[in-house]
Structure 1
Amino acid sequence: MAGIEAVVFDFGNVLIKWNPEAWYDARIGREAREKLFAEVPLEEMNLRSDRGEHLADLVAETAAQYPAHADNIRAWYDNWIEMAQPDIPHSAVLLRALRAKGIPTFALSNFGIPTLALADAAYPVLTEFDRRFISGELRTIKPEPEIYAHVEAGTGLAPEALLFADDRPENIDAARARGWQVHLFEEPQGFADRLVAEGLLTPEEAAA
């Protein structure tokens, strides 16, 4: 197997937490949240944002379609940054350690454009990449093959030269099918151990 030449990071649940369910649980209770998510296609709405549609427009459209849940639907936009927290400091350490050693780092994330601006302002670490591949700009989302092809073409690297960390198995499987080296991210120490095992970082460099 060819050596790893670059590391590709997802954003949500790798560098920052993304857990809207927990935000709603804390404010309206689990039972009401489960009812909301069962009756309103919030995840589908968010995926449309990830494809490049404006989240504010999507929220207004969805609130009009489901007036009984309108206030909670609007909260998805009004309180979005509160759902995208906290950051994951150890992951930031790993990113910066790789960059300090001159190892190219790239981002591959499903993200809407207006919300990315909010996240960039709150978490500057998200901007610290050699290049970012963002679904809202590319109009294709993981795990669709097209978005991985954009990374390959944009970096000029062979698939097997890329190590990709993502928290969703379907995104990992799609990358693996193209020949990428992959890491299913569950917690930062596991990824730190992988980077050490691959010889990209020393244990000291990978420490939290």
Structure 2
Amino acid sequence: MSSNDIRHIVFDIGKVLIHYDPDLPYSRLIPDEAERSWFFANVCTSEWNIEQDRGRSWEEAEALLIRSYPDREDHIRAFRRHWHEMVPHAYSDTVAIMEGLIADGWDVTMLTNFASDTFREAQRLYPFLTLPRGVTVSGDVRQIKPDLAIYRTHTETFDLDPGATLFIDDSPANVEGARAAGWQAVRFIDAQQLRGDLAAYGIKPSHTAPSPAAAAAL
């Protein structure tokens, strides 16, 4: 396939454009590694967190856990309170690729599993997240990857041709979800791999340094 066949490029955000690691604040809040592992496996689990990405409010999410683990209230509330510490930096090389694509005139949008409020906080922390033409945030539409519905919502919202759309995501399940929706898709490993994947489609973005606004956030 060549660049003539691709007209739209869609970026995931977490672990593609910005780093995300819930362990960062909790390594301070729960110093014992075994206890911290238990907490993430039993209390603030990935399954619990994904429901905020699906649109559940933090108030409801916290209340649900506090009923079951009242002695862990402070640690439960700390997940949202210290969320900004979980996204400590951007991936400057990937940001440069995205900005190069935009500068070259590519139609760039974003599709992300993100709670509505934390996504707006991320945009304030990382202004380059406002540069693409638009974004579908799972918490806004109450759909999540890899369900087909969210890919279809993104396609309809931004008037994309699925077969002419290239999706970039770090999750194998989300990549497969995009392909099931008729998109082209590549799994993000790192910026070097992404450049190679884009080149395989005949896409070679301008090599630019991040914009001043983006650089200030890196």
TM over 0.5: yes
Shift, 1:150, TM fit: 0.8
- Report the 3-state secondary structure (helix = DSSP H, G, I; strand = E; otherwise coil) of the residue aligned with 1:182: strand
The answer to whether residue 183 in structure 2 is matched with residue 177 in structure 1 is no
1:131 alignment counterpart? 134
Q: 1:179 to 1:90 in 2, by over 3 A?
A: same
Moved more, 48-57 or 102-111: 48-57
Matches within 5 A, 1:6-21: 6-21=8-23
**Structure 2 unpaired stretches of 5+:** 211-218
1:113-150 C-alpha deviation (Å, 9 max, x unpaired): 11111111101111111011111111100011100001
2:90 to 87, 91, 97: 87
Shift, 1:111, TM fit: 0.7
The answer to whether residue 152 in structure 2 is matched with residue 159 in structure 1 is no
- Report the 3-state secondary structure (helix = DSSP H, G, I; strand = E; otherwise coil) of the residue aligned with 2:5: coil
Aligned 8 A contact 1:46 1:55 in 2 = no
2:40 alignment counterpart? 37
- C-alpha distance in structure 2 between counterparts of 1:54 and 1:85, whole Å: 23
TM-score, normalisation: structure 1: 0.91
- C-alpha distance in structure 2 between counterparts of 1:21 and 1:173, whole Å: 27
Shift, 1:64, TM fit: 3.3
Aligned 8 A contact 1:164 1:181 in 2 = yes
Q: 1:207 to 1:200 in 2, by over 3 A?
A: farther
- C-alpha distance in structure 1 between counterparts of 2:87 and 2:67, whole Å: 25
Shift, 1:179, TM fit: 2.2
- Report the 3-state secondary structure (helix = DSSP H, G, I; strand = E; otherwise coil) of the residue aligned with 2:10: strand
2:207 alignment counterpart? 205
Matches within 5 A, 1:9-158: 9-28=11-30, 29-158=32-161
Moved more, 25-34 or 178-187: 25-34
Shift, 1:68, TM fit: 2.6
- C-alpha distance in structure 1 between counterparts of 2:130 and 2:101, whole Å: 15
**Structure 1 unpaired stretches of 5+:** none
Q: 1:207 to 1:120 in 2, by over 3 A?
A: closer
RMSD of equivalent CA atoms = 1.9
TM-score, normalisation: structure 2: 0.87
Calculate percent identity across the aligned residue pairs: 35
Count of residues in Structure 1 that have an aligned counterpart in Structure 2: 207
